[in-house]
A and B are shown apart, each in its own frame.
Chain A
Amino acid sequence: MKAVYTIFIFTVMVFTLAGCSGRIELNDLLLITSVGIDKGEGDRVKLTFQATNPQAQAGGQGSSGAGGSTNPDYTFESEGYSVNEAVNNARNFISRKLFFSQMSMLVVGEEMAKEKGVKEILDFLERHYEIRDNYFFLIAKDSSAKEILSTLTPIENNSSKTIEKLINISEGSVGIKDGITLENFIRWLYGEKRSPVALGIKKKEKNSNVSNFDTLNDIDGNPNSIQLTGLALFNEDKQVDWFTKKESSAWGVLTGRSADIQNFTFHCPDGDGRIGILLKDIKGKAVPTLKGNQLTYRIKMSGQMNLQEMSCRLKLTEEQGANAIQTAVSKGLEKQLVETVRKAQKLKLDFFGIQSQLFKNHPKSWEKQKDNWEALYQEMKVKADVQVYIESPGARLENNYESK
């Protein structure tokens, strides 16, 4: 009897204490797939939500008349003096509960990132109980976030899905593994004293206006496309400059975030023609060493390559030719890495985590030289040593014009 009584009380407690308080049906949710933030009028911020339209997704079911030609997504715009206010304002005209936890990316307009910085945005997004930190963080180059989000891209029909796949599957020519998430950004900015970078995105054709569903009927996909660019460079929370794509992939190699397979193209060692390679498993170390007042950044990398194209006058069948290609590629890669570091030095920003590496590896001498960082960094020597070996020349060995 006592047991029955206990079970009864127990059950009643579960139902009354927790009962249904957080319950919400799926059809009362508006799934936000990405959020864009732009500079609004005056001091205000402009938020753009990209939300899926479940009715259009249900098109195949034939139950409702709606399916077929409706947009798969909608974007909503809302302004306010702060992000929170803008989100609250959106509640006035969006009929369902905004549901953020499925958010896959945050796009910040270049104007906003350069002029106002992202500090306030970060705080709201980190604090919000529904929003996770592991979504991609992108800066819209030469355009506003709204433009990017309201582009109806071909194939995926949805810009945020396109961007996600660009980063995850095709990895872009930037070649950064797993992209850059807000979590990374925040850790670099506040945790590691390292100047953060973010992924860049822009429209393929700047002036095209493709937010109408009908544009998807155009076979020419280019005007609708959006593309990954080089990384956006930040000083503290404000954007200052951009890396080119080459520099971005060099950044990936230096920080160990490069994709498993990357494409590079280099000039031939003599004369015209190009070598295209597939760089695999590039591994190594980029370590700063501090001796007295001299900071040296030693880069030692090794990797394998598959030959993709070769229009040089080199004989691959001979050891000489193969060696020449290897040196050409290694030197080319070395140059690319060094140039990237030089650019960072010029900007006086440390995108590679050199400071935190020094702090870990040379805590004592770093403690002495800490205040002298800027001068040290300016004077920093870069020594690169890259060894790339040919793993496979591809499906053929000789050039067509070499064979005679």
Chain B
Amino acid sequence: MKIYRNKNKQAKEKSAGKHLDKDAISPEVDENIETIKQRLGDPFDFMARSYSYGKDRFALCYIDGMVSKDDLERTIVYPLMDWLRENDSFDTIGDRDFRQHIQIPTKMKETTSLSSTMDDLLRGNIVLFVQGRRQAFIASDQEWATRAISEPESQTLIRGPREGFVETLSINATLIRRRITNPALRFKSFVIGKVTKTQILVTYIEGYVNENALKEVINRIESVDTLEVYETGMLEELMEEKGYSPFPTIQSTERPDVVCSALTEGKVSILMEGTPFVLIAPTTFMSFFQAAEDYYTRFDLSTFIRMIRFISFWISLALPATYVALTTFHQELIPTNLLVSLAAQREGIPFPALIEALVMEGVFEILREAGIRMPRQIGPAVSIVGAIVIGEAAVAAGLVSPAIVIVVSLTAIASFANPYYSISGSARLLRFILMLFAASAGIFGMIVFTLALFIHLVSLKSLGQPFLSPLAPLSVKKQKDAFFRFPLWWEDRKKKKKVGG
């Protein structure tokens, strides 16, 4: 009796669904499979396996290569079959929750929309259709070939964790979870890209997070209108405030420990499927100079090293320009002996100092780009040629002076002494503009340019937060982690003294 009624109802619904809603899931297993196949264009890796027991039928759909096939049988098919063997038919469950009755080791979520089912399918989930039910059950058992967790190559350190993010979102989320085992840790899921439908996770710690920044991040993510994203760099550009700034206002890192420390500071981070780079926002100019290792080594050493980083940033920005300005405008500023030896080096050099500097910087940039792009096997050849061209031959041929070689190589080395590639990129670009200013107006020109640069920096905002934060607006309290890295116990000790224990 019961069975009959059910059948009738299902039949009714089936006919209603057909002309009512294309998105609805049909009670007919085969029909669903057929629709999916059709919509996906009959892909070669779409797998649909049907099982029947008596008159009951169910089918599993998945994309080959994205799920673990061993687990599939064990965790879904066997339990279902066992249940059927004991209970004969699914019909006995009736309208009640299918999942509560059949104990399947894999957690499943239920949906009634065919399109969302297909989205899940394409993300590597397993879809279970049961004959006579208008729901699809989705088991998440993704498993695909992925890179092993390895040391992040863009941010290496001596002391500290060697784990870096990988291209798989779930693994990345786990890396964060393992470091912050706090119930307040939140992952909010979004999908971006009309074509790529890339999954991203907005991560923060409830209660610690800067609410305004979080709201801003979510707003911007929701308003991003794009067809494709493959890397957080693209998202970063789409989310940034001022498009025309040479400075990055969103930080990106490969290190889970950096992300976790940012989260506890109340920042928001964005993880994306398919890339090991995670965005952190809002960020400040200073935080581009704080490496993870600063907090793992002793405070005095890390303060010193941080100073070195600031100095080397300035060197990589301004050293060639300073050289040009001093040797062509302000010779009186150079100590006599140094000036004599510089003048001696420049004897017989056919180019003015600016051209010399531009050419050498240009050559270095070419070598640098070649070093990144070339196939690994050619590496030694390029570096030998580069070293000889820059260091030896150009000087020996009397084309450039040895001093400029020193200047350029010092600049190059200094530009690598930064934990974040993106900020050294801005110094790299601005260096050339600064050189032009220096060559046309000397130190005066450099001052003018630097002033303009500071005005720009002060006006920059990262998700509504001032970019130059602990400096402008000045916060004395936050100075303990700006230019200096104060000891971690600093504040505690003060508090203890106040208590007067």
Q: Could you list which residues of chain A lie within 8 angstroms of chain B, going by C-beta atoms?
A: 4, 7, 10, 14-15, 18-20, 22-27, 29, 31, 33, 52, 54-55, 57-58, 61, 63-64, 99, 101-102, 104, 130
Nearest CB in chain B: distance from A131 CB, A:
10
B38 is an interface residue with CB less than 8 A from chain A: no
Determine whether B348 belongs to the interface, using a CB cutoff of 8 Å to chain A: yes
- The 0/1 profile, CB within 8 Å of A marked 1, for residues 340-360 of chain B is 111111111100110000000
Query: Bound state CA distance, A357 and B244, in angstroms?
Result: 65
Note all chain B residues with C-beta closer than 8 A to A57: 340-341, 343-344
Most buried by A among B328, B329, B343, B402: B343
Using A14-B440, A26-B327 as known contacts, list a sample of 5 further A-B pairs with CB atoms less than 8 Å apart, ordered by residue number in A: A4-B244, A55-B344, A61-B402, A63-B348, A101-B332
Chain B residue, CB-CB nearest to A24: B328
Chain B residues with Cβ under 8 A from A4's Cβ? Answer: 244
- Choose, from B171-179, B371-379, B419-427, B441-449, the stretch at the interface: B441-449
> Would A27 and B442 count as touching, CB distance under 8 A?
no
How far apart are the CA atoms of A30 and B363 in the complex, in Å? 31
Q: Which residues of the other chain, A, contact B328 by a CB distance below 8 angstroms?
A: 23-26
Give per-residue flags for B375-409: 1 if the beta carbon is below 8 A from chain A beta carbons, else 0.
Answer: 00000000000000000000110100010000000
The complex places the Cα of A130 from the Cα of B331 at a distance, in Å, of 10
Task: Determine if A33 and B336 form an interchain contact, defined as CB atoms under 8 angstroms apart.
Answer: yes
Shortest B245–chain A CB gap in Å is 11
Whether B238 sits at the interface, judged by CB under 8 Å, is no
B344 contacts across to A, CB distance below 8 A:
54-55, 57-58, 61
**Inter-subunit contact A19/B441 (CB<8 Å):** yes
Cα distance, A256 to B347, chains bound together (Å): 45
Complex: A379 Cα to B140 Cα, angstroms = 112
Find B448's partner among A14, A19, A54 (CB 8 Å cutoff): A14
- Compute how far the CA of A18 lies from the CA of B347 in the bound complex, rounded to whole angstroms: 27
Is B331 within 8 A of A26, CB to CB? yes
Q: Are B396 and A14 in contact (CB under 8 A)?
A: no
CB distance from B244 to the nearest CB of A (A): 8
Q: Give the docked Cα–Cα distance between A31 and B449 (Å).
A: 30
| B437 near A104: Cβ-Cβ < 8 Å | no
Q: In the complex where A7-B452, A14-B440, A23-B328 touch, is A102 in contact with B339 (Cβ < 8 A)?
A: yes
Known: A14-B437, A33-B336, A63-B398. A23 touches B345 (CB 8 A): no
- B345 — which chain A residues lie within 8 A by C-beta? 58, 61
The residue of chain B having its C-beta at the shortest distance from the C-beta of A4 within the complex is B244
Hey, which chain A residues are within 8 Å of B353, CB to CB?
Answer: 25-26
Contact B343–A26 (Cβ < 8 Å): yes
Residues on B with beta carbons closer than 8 Å to the beta carbon of A26: 327-328, 331, 339, 342-343, 346, 353
A31–B336 contact, CB under 8 A? yes
Interface core residue of B347, B349, B396 (most chain A CB under 10 Å): B347
Asked whether B445 lies within 8 Å of A29 as measured between CB atoms, the reply is no
Closest to A55 in B: B347
Known contacts A20-B440, A26-B346, A27-B347; decide if A52 and B340 are in contact (CB<8 Å): yes
Report whether B396 and A63 are in contact in the complex, using a CB–CB cutoff of 8 Å: yes
Query: Within the complex, what minimum Cβ distance (angstroms) separates A277 from chain B?
Result: 35
In the complex, the chain B residue whose C-beta lies closest to that of A19 is B440
- CB within 8 Å for A15 and B440 given contacts A25-B328, A63-B398: yes
**A194 CA / B347 CA spacing, docked (Å):** 47
Q: Knowing A31-B336, A55-B344 are in contact, say whether A23-B452 is a contact too (CB < 8 A).
A: no
Q: Tell me, in angstroms, the Cα distance from A64 to B344 when the chains sit together.
A: 11
* Distance in angstroms between the alpha carbons of A195 and B352 in the assembled complex: 49
Q: Which residues of A contact B441 (CB under 8 A)?
A: 14-15, 18-20
Q: How far is the CB of A263 from chain B (nearest CB, A)?
A: 29
A10 to B395, CA, bound (A): 37
Whole-angstrom distance from the CB of A75 to the nearest CB of chain B? 16
Query: Within B413-455, which residues are at the interface with A (CB < 8 Å)?
Result: 437, 439-442, 444-445, 448-449, 452
Complex Cα distance, B344 from A356, in Å, reads: 48
Chain B residues within an 8 Å CB radius of A29? 331, 343
The docked-state distance in angstroms from the alpha carbon of A286 to that of B341 is: 46
What 6 A-B pairs come out closest when comparing CB atoms? Answer: A101-B332, A57-B344, A18-B441, A58-B344, A102-B336, A54-B343
Partner of A58, one of B332, B339, B347, B452: B347
Bound CA–CA A192/B323 (angstroms): 42
How far is A61 from B344 in the complex, measured between Cα atoms in Å? 9
Neighbouring B residues of A23 by C-beta, 8 Å: 328-329, 439-440, 442
Cβ contact within 8 Å between A130 and B398: no
CB distance from A47 to the nearest CB of B (A): 20
15 contacts between A and B (CB under 8 A): A20-B440, A20-B441, A22-B442, A24-B328, A25-B328, A25-B346, A26-B328, A26-B331, A29-B343, A54-B343, A54-B344, A54-B347, A63-B395, A101-B331, A104-B336
If A23-B329, A26-B353, A101-B331 touch, whether A31 touches B343 (CB-CB below 8 Å) is yes
Q: In whole angstroms, what is the CA distance A214 to B348 when docked?
A: 26
Chain B CB within 10 Å, residue with most, of A10, A23, A52, A99: A23
Task: Check A130/B332 contact, CB under 8 A, given A14-B441, A63-B396.
Answer: yes
Q: Which B residues are CB-close (under 8 A) to A58? A: 344-345, 347
- Interchain CA distance A63-B448 in the complex, whole Å: 38
A2 to chain B, nearest CB (A): 13
B339–A31 contact, CB under 8 A? yes
> Which residues of A have CB within 8 Å of B449?
14
Which residues from A are CB-within-8-Å of B448? Answer: 14
In the complex, residue of chain B having the shortest beta-carbon distance to the beta carbon of A57: B344
CB distance from A142 to the nearest CB of B (A): 28
Closest to B329 in A: A22
Given A31-B339, A57-B340, A104-B336, A64 and B440 contact (CB-CB distance below 8 Å): no
Give Cα A10 to B439, complex, Å: 17
* B440 contact set on A, CB distance < 8 A: 14-15, 18-20, 23
**A31 cross-chain contacts in B, Cβ below 8 A:** 336, 339-340, 343
User: In the assembled complex, how far is the CB of residue B429 from the closest CB belonging to chain A, in whole angstroms?
Assistant: 15
For B445, the chain A residues whose CB sits under 8 A away are 14, 18
Cα A278 to Cα B162 with chains together (Å)? 63
- Of B327, B346, B444, which is within 8 A of A18 by CB? B444
Using a CB-CB cutoff of 8 Å, which residues 304-339 of chain B contact chain A?
A: 327-329, 331-332, 336, 339
**Complex alpha-carbon distance, A14 and B342, angstroms:** 28
Instruction: Give every chain A residue within 8 A of B352 (Cβ-Cβ).
Output: 25
A27/B329 contact (C-beta < 8 A), A7-B452, A18-B444, A104-B336 known: no
Chain A residues with CB under 8 A of B452: 7, 10
In the bound complex, CA of A31 to CA of B398 (Å): 22
Which interface residue of B344, B352, B444, B452 has the most chain A CB atoms within 10 A?
Answer: B344
The residues of B that contact A64 with a CB separation of less than 8 Å are 347-348, 398
Complex CA–CA separation, A102 to B337 (angstroms): 9
Separation of A61 and B328 alpha carbons in the complex (Å): 22
Measured in the bound complex, the distance between the Cα atoms of B343 and A54 in whole Å is 6
A57 to B348 Cα, complex, angstroms: 13
In the assembled complex, how far is the CB of residue A16 from the closest CB belonging to chain B, in whole angstroms?
Answer: 9
User: Nearest CB to that of B459 among chain A residues?
Assistant: A3
Shortest distance from the beta carbon of B406 to any chain A beta carbon, whole Å: 14
CA distance A165 to B339 in the complex (A): 18
Q: How far is the CA of A377 from the CA of B332 in the complex (A)?
A: 44
How near does chain A come to B21, taking the closest CB pair, in angstroms?
49
CA distance A64 to B398 in the complex (A): 9
User: B349–A27 contact, CB under 8 A?
Assistant: yes
Complex: chain B residue closest to A62, CB-CB: B396
User: Do the beta carbons of B347 and A99 come within 8 Å of each other?
Assistant: no
Cα–Cα distance between A14 and B332 once the two chains are bound (Å): 22
Task: Report Cα–Cα, A7/B453, bound state, in Å.
Answer: 11
Residues in B neighbouring A27, C-beta threshold 8 A: 343, 346-349
CA distance A54 to B244 in the complex (A): 46
C-alpha spacing A15/B352, complex, angstroms: 18
Q: How far is the CB of A67 from chain B (nearest CB, A)?
A: 9
Q: Measured between alpha carbons, how far is A4 from B452 in the docked complex, in Å?
A: 13
**Assembled-state Cα–Cα distance A22/B441 (Å):** 8
Binary CB contact string for chain B from 450 to 478 against chain A (1 if under 8 A, 0 otherwise): 00100000000000000000000000000
